[in-house]
Amino acid sequence: MGEQATFEVSYTVEGADFSIAGEGAARLKRVLQQVGLPPALVRRIALATYEAELNVVIHAYRGVIKARVSSALVEVWVEDQGPGIPNVELAMKEGYSTAPDHVRALGFGAGMGLPNIRRNADALKITTVVGEGTALYMTFAGPSSEV
């Protein structure tokens, strides 16, 4: 992609709709592929975004995925209106999950979502208010970054 080009995309996410869960991450992945980001970077971004999107589908009422993309940095926000996370430290622990049984039956709720996000993003910031919602901010160094 061009050195100067920066663009933004956004996708809405509906809570509890598992039939289209992951569409936002899939669309972001296609866009990132089209602008020619390296496949390994695209995979990390898509994977982290998918996990965050699924958290919205599993736990929240609705949300939005926003991304700002340049060759130096990819920023992804996943923000929801939902229950919030009472204990973020606990939620970051691998194996800890509050997903209900019908969600676990689909193969979700392994307590790996947030750890997967942290592992794949270069930086992750979680802002959450119980009873209002959660906002994830993830960044990924692009191919033209210095680091």
Nearer to other proteins, 5 or 93 (CB): 93
Q: How many other β-carbons are positioned within 10 Å of the β-carbon of residue 23?
A: 17
Residues 95-114 contacting other proteins, CB under 8 A: 106-108, 110-113
Q: How far is the CB of 116 from other proteins (least distance, A)?
A: 5
**Residue 134, both tokens:** 């959660």
Nearer to other proteins, 9 or 72 (CB): 9
**Residue 9, both tokens:** 């995309």
**Residue 144, both tokens:** 């033209």
Residue 116 contacts other proteins per CB under 8 A: yes
What contacts 50, CB < 8 A, 6 or more positions away? 22, 25, 26
- Pairwise CA distance, residues 38 & 53, whole Å: 22
| Interaction site with other proteins (CB under 8 A) | 18-19, 21-23, 25-26, 29, 39, 43, 46-47, 50-51, 54, 106-108, 110-113, 115-116, 119
